[in-house]
């Protein structure tokens, strides 16, 4: 068997590198200052990782970075399409940029990411946001230098949003702003087509990076001293399906667990339909893999799960969560849930509530259903009024907040290994840290601890966080 997905050739990547050199030379000649770029990121960690590559390419083109849109020569909005609210925020930000463009007509404004990949968005930007110079989707991110060159050399607007099953570009330049936490994509795209979700339409088909490239990335990050490495994919459990050799995600985890260094490995997201016992056993066995599982359940009703095209039932989800806790008694289990899917009844919402009470997640990301044009669910009758959905949502939040508070209270009096990751701005607890399970800890202690694994005695807790002091 050979690889079924497209990997961009070294020659094509070398061509982009040559263009980066040309742009750097061009800007050095035409500007009287160091070119400045602003990259604003919306959406999930995949977009954060993509923005790090965009910044890497910008740096190769001679750019330094700024937070001030008025001073930026290039502005890039890397967008998310997962809910309507995400898109509204981007339109708001784009609108505000008419002022900076008016003050500096040479400013180049770019819109990229998942929202930009949709033709309805590109058409709206073409017609109503005329100050936007460059629109491109995730499939051509690796060709950003070529697209930007077109804007500079041809002085016209550039749109590149052709549909594509997607590709893999290895070795793109990267800027990592954080020194302790890093993201490593292991696969891209999604084949699941959950009926509410836009991601498969804008991110293309599932494709896995070669194991050797991932191993090299993690080895390099560990050697540089990164302490918290998250493997990314819309559904990491599909890792390897398009690769020769029959390697799966559990095998990948086992291989990465063998990398030298003191670091936590975590991953997101796992789809319950193919989160296997083999994977959970591998998690339990691998010392570096943090016992933290993000396993979105989306609904507690088997009827709604079927309408969502999720491929598992309530009972199957419960059995999986049960098995995970059996093999990892200290597992931190988190999840995503959608309230108010079209046609969901009050009784079905009650099933979601009862699942939440039964599983007792450590934390829950709760969303009200948002219709995404082009997805099957957006065509379904949706009779429940928004106010009613809001009432359900508030009730769910109340139930989960009580559970989170109880779970956090159980940490009080224990000692936890934590990764100190920054300052908190609160004089009583000047440091912030995370447990292996990703729980936020506000800490008393000295700034010199930032970036290190330490032991914390937990003294207090609330719904959202733990509080404590360093003991080593
Ligand atoms: N690939 C991940 C999720 C990506 S989107 C997975 O399968 O788990 C993150 C979360 O956004 C989803 O888990 C879902 O809960 C939520 N979401 C996706 N589409 C949505 C929509 N149309 N309305 C509301 N929430 C949505
Ligand atoms: Fe969307 Fe479902 Fe794919 Fe997750 S698994 S990205 S929710 S289609
Ligand atoms: Fe949003 Fe795209 Fe991620 S739609 S959630 S940024 S994959």
- Fold of the domain spanning 415-470: OB fold (Dihydrolipoamide Acetyltransferase, E2P) (2.40.50)
Q: Does this chain's domain 181-289 share its CATH topology with 291-409?
A: yes
What are the distances in angstroms from CA 404 to CA 24, 287, 357, 365, 427?
A: 51, 26, 11, 12, 25
Q: Which residues line ligand 3 (CB under 6 A)?
A: 43-44, 46-47, 80-82, 114, 198-199, 203
3-state secondary structure of 437: coil
The Cα–Cα gap between 268 and 82 comes to 16
Q: Which residues contact 347 (CB under 8 A, 6 or more apart)?
A: none
Residues belonging to the chain: 472
Nearest residue to 19 via CA among 135, 155, 152: 152
| Domain residue spans of the chain | 6-167, 181-289, 291-409, 415-470
What spacing in Å lies between the alpha carbon of 440 and ligand 2's midpoint? 27
- Structure tokens that stand for 296 in this block: 């979105």
pLDDT in single tens digits along all 472 residues of the chain: 677 778 999 999 999 999 999 999 999 999 999 999 999 999 999 999 999 999 999 999 999 999 999 999 999 999 999 999 999 999 999 999 999 999 999 999 999 999 999 999 999 999 999 999 999 999 999 999 999 999 999 989 999 999 999 999 999 999 998 999 999 999 999 999 999 999 999 999 999 999 999 999 999 999 999 999 999 999 999 999 999 988 999 999 999 999 999 999 999 999 999 899 999 999 999 999 999 999 999 999 999 999 999 999 999 999 999 999 999 999 999 999 999 999 999 999 999 999 999 999 999 999 999 999 999 999 999 999 999 999 999 999 999 999 999 999 999 999 999 999 999 888 899 999 999 999 999 999 889 999 999 999 999 999 999 999 999 8
Q: Which of 296, 366, 396 to mutate to test the pocket of ligand 1 (most atoms within 8 A of CB)?
A: 296
Q: Tell me how far the alpha carbon of residue 111 lies from the centroid of ligand 3, in angstroms.
A: 14
Mutate to test the pocket of ligand 1, among 81, 185, 293, 338 (most ligand atoms within 8 A of CB): 338
The domain 181-289: what is its CATH number? Answer: 3.30.750.210
Nearest-atom number in ligand 3 for the CA of 81 is 4
For residue 340, the 8-state DSSP code is -
Return the structure tokens found at 310. 């999720």
CA of 197 to the centre of ligand 1 (A): 6
Q: What angle do CA 111, 112, 115 make, to 5 degrees?
A: 95
> Under a CB-based contact definition with an 8 Å cutoff, are residues 314 and 355 in contact?
yes
CATH of 6-167, one of 1.10.150.110, 3.30.1330.20, 3.30.460.10, 3.40.50.12160: 3.40.50.12160
Q: Distance from the CA of 259 to the center of ligand 2, in angstroms?
A: 30
How far is residue 37's CA from residue 175's CA, in Å, rounded to a whole number? 13
Q: Beta partners for 467?
A: 442, 460
Topology given in CATH for the domain delimited by 291-409: Transcription Regulator spoIIAA (3.30.750)
Measure the CA–CA gap between 2 and 229, rounded to whole angstroms: 29
CA distance 430 to 194: 42
């Amino acid at each position: 068997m050979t690889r079924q997905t497209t990997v961009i050739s070294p020659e094509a990547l070398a061509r982009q590198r040559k263009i980066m050199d040309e742009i750097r030379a061009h800007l050095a000649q035409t500007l009287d200052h160091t070119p400045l770029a602003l990259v604003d990121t919306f959406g999930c960690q995949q977009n954060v990782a993509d923005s790090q590559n965009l910044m890497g390419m910008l740096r190769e083109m001679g750019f330094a970075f700024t937070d001030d849109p008025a001073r930026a020569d290039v502005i890039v909005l890397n967008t998310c399409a997962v809910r309507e609210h995400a898109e509204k925020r981007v339109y708001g930000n784009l609108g505000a940029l008419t002022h900076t463009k008016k003050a500096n007509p040479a400013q180049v404004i770019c819109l990229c990411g998942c929202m930009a990949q949709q033709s309805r968005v590109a058409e709206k930007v073409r017609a109503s946001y005329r100050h936007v110079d460059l629109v491109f989707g995730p499939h051509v991110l690796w060709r950003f230098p070529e697209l930007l060159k077109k804007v500079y050399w041809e002085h016209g607007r550039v749109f590149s949003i052709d549909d594509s099953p997607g590709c893999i570009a290895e070795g793109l330049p990267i800027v990592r702003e954080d020194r302790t936490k890093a993201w490593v994509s292991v696969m891209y795209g999604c084949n699941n087509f959950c009926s509410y979700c836009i991601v498969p339409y804008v991110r293309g088909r599932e494709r896995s990076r070669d194991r050797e490239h991932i191993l090299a990335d993690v080895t390099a990050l560990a050697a540089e001293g990164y302490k918290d490495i998250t493997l990314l994919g819309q559904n990491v459990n599909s890792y390897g399906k398009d690769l020769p050799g029959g390697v799966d995600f559990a095998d990948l985890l086992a291989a990465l667990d063998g990398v030298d260094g003191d670091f936590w490995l975590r991953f997101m997201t796992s789809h319950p339909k193919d989160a296997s016992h083999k994977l959970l056993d591998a998690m339990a066995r691998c010392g570096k893999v943090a016992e933290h599982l993000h396993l979105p359940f989306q609904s507690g009703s088997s009827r709604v799960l079927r309408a969502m095209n999720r491929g598992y039932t309530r009972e199957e989800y419960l059995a999986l969560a049960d098995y995970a806790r059996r093999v990892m008694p200290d597992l931190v289990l988190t999840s995503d849930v959608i309230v108010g899917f079209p046609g969901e009844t009050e009784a079905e919402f009650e099933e979601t509530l009862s699942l939440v009470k039964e599983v007792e997640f450590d934390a829950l990301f709760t969303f009200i259903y948002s219709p995404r044009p082009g997805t099957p669910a957006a065509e379904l009758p949706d009779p429940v009024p928004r106010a009613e959905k809001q009432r359900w949502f508030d009730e769910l939040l109340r139930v989960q907040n009580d559970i989170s508070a109880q779970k956090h209270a159980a940490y009080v009096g224990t000692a936890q290994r934590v990764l100190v990751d920054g300052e908190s701005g609160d004089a009583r607890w000047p440091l912030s840290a995370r447990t292996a399970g990703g729980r936020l800890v506000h800490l008393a202690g000295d700034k010199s601890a930032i970036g290190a694994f330490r032991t914390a005695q937990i003294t207090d807790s609330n719904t959202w966080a733990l509080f404590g002091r360093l003991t080593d």
